Amino acid sequence: MFTFDPFGNIKKSGTSSFLPTYSATTNRYTLSGVNVQYDGDGNLKTDNLNTYTWDPNFGNPASVNGIILIYDALGRMVEQQNGTAYTQILYSPAGKTALMNGQTLAKAFINLPGGGTAIYNSTGLAYYRHSDWLGSSRLTSTVARAAYSISAYAPYGEQYAVSGVSDPSFTGQNSDTVSTLYDFTFRENSPSQGRWVSPDPLGMGAVDPTNPQSWNRYAYVFNNPLANFDPNGLECITITDGNGNSVVGDDGQGNMCQMMTPGSNQPDAEVNAQPLDFQTQSPANNGPNPRLLNIAQQVQNCGQFSNVGNQLAQGVNSGRISVGNVPSNAVATTNGWFNATSVIAPDALDDPSTVIHEWIHQTQAAGNPFFLFLKGANQIQSLFTSDSQGFLDYSAQNVANKIVSVCGVK
């Protein structure tokens, strides 16, 4: 049985229990008989299952149970060192694609139509994963059509009723580091605890004042894991029937959960096909402009500039970044970019570089100096520094071009 406090902190009892005491101010927990520790950023250092160390600069886990973790410039785990054993992680545009031991293939993940996955090892095709509506592998079968493994999942990813060879894959995420965690691209998730082991990296920017659940930066998909899933640790996707009538839920980062039909690898066509109304926020129901949201989400998924994408998405979903003419009653502010109003011209939507460029300039015009934008997106500063470019190159267009180029925004 699952119970929740008013801030979405989870407790569970039954065959598998997790009964912590939560802080009303931080949403961190203590657990009887366990020396639970957090660092100053709210990341778990020890819990009932694992020990962690953290990179102080980028917030990634540097090790789990002594396994050393290495990351690329996009913030993705690319190597694990477990004593004298090394495992490399290969990525493609489809996401995590293979585990390698040097030049030897350990495991490859090939996505198939309909949501299945073909699993290869060093000798060839090993078995197929068959996914449920959330993308969790409930059945795996061999090439000879025999059952390789059968498993059920509790709402937050704990396996039970396992037969055959255990092959956990919760919403498409694997336990490649340790068996007690699912390795999402940008965060680690504990199925036994039903929450993230580190808080939402957007900090207070993750809060939607209209949704009390968004104040809990450790909660997984608003504690609605049978309808929602998170593809990378920073987003929220809501499963729908594909009719595209409404968007349900918000992940607390300002991103409305994209709607997706079960078995599909793309958001519902009905959502994307709605006619644009450039004088409001589009589509016609006055929701976020789908083109602006698409650009923001592409930047969000680019680890090097994910913070910029989070800010863009928050602005688009809150209506502070929209399409049309600059309102005559726009109020200047010095409290941060998110209190400014940015209106993008309709003819700029075809060019993502222009959209980002205009957003930067219009936040300036509304009273937000450009340095606040840079302060909120320090990845840009380090990138330009590494390129040996001077301060004058911190122009809006140069920054916009760099984001579009590095992230491949279309």
| Exposed/middle/buried for residue 82 (C-beta within 10 Å: 0-12, 13-18, 19+) | middle
pLDDT score of 169 more than 80: yes
pLDDT (tens digit per residue) in 55-102:
987 889 999 999 999 999 888 999 999 999 999 999 988 889 999 999
Alpha-helical (H) ranges within 301-369 are 306-318, 352-365
Q: Indicate if the pLDDT at residue 359 is higher than 60.
A: yes
- pLDDT given for residue 328 in this prediction: 42
Q: Is the pLDDT of residue 389 over 90?
A: no
Asked whether the beta carbons of 138 and 130 are under 8 A apart, the reply is: yes
| pLDDT given for residue 388 in this prediction | 41
Has this prediction a pTM greater than 0.75?
A: no
237-239 and 258-260 beta bridge pairing: parallel
Per-residue b or e along 249-266, where b marks 16 or more CB atoms closer than 10 Å to that residue's CB: bbbbbbbbbbbbbeeeee
CA angle 282-288-291, nearest 5°? 75
Q: Give the DSSP H or E segment for 351.
A: none
Q: Retrieve residue 54's tokens.
A: 């953290």
List, as one string, the DSSP characters of 13-49: -SSS-B--EE-TTT--EEBTTB--EE-TTS-EEE-SS
Distance CA 363, CA 361 (A): 5
Q: What pLDDT does residue 262 have?
A: 44
- Residues near 24 by beta carbon (within 8 Å), at least 6 away in sequence: 7
- Nearest by Cα to 294 from 277, 282, 280, 279: 282
Give residue 324's pLDDT.
67
Q: Which residues of 20-39 are buried (b: 16+ CB within 10 A; e: fewer)?
A: bebeeeebbbeeeeeebebe
Rounded CA gap, 250 and 225, in Å?
Answer: 13
pLDDT tens sequence across 173-223: 999 999 999 999 999 999 999 999 999 887 776 676 777 777 899 999 888
Closest to 119 measured CA to CA, from 180, 81, 176: 176
Task: For residue 283, name the pLDDT band (cuts at 50, 70, 90).
Answer: very low
Least confident of 116-125, 145-154, 203-212, 335-344: 335-344
Q: Is the pLDDT of residue 118 over 70?
A: yes
Burial 151-185 (b: 16+ CB within 10 A, else e): bebbbbbbbeeeebeebbbbbbbbbbbbebbbbbb
Q: List the structure tokens of 262.
A: 């079960």
Segment 234-278, tens digit of pLDDT: 877 776 544 443 333 333 333 344 444 444 444 433 323 222 222
> What does the mean pLDDT of the chain come to?
77
Q: Is it true that the peptide bond before 275 is cis, omega within 30 degrees of 0? A: no
With 0-12 CB in 10 A as exposed, 13-18 as middle and 19+ as buried, what is 276? middle
- Extents of the domains making up the chain: 2-196, 275-410
The closest of 201, 162, 198 to 181, measured between CA atoms, is 198
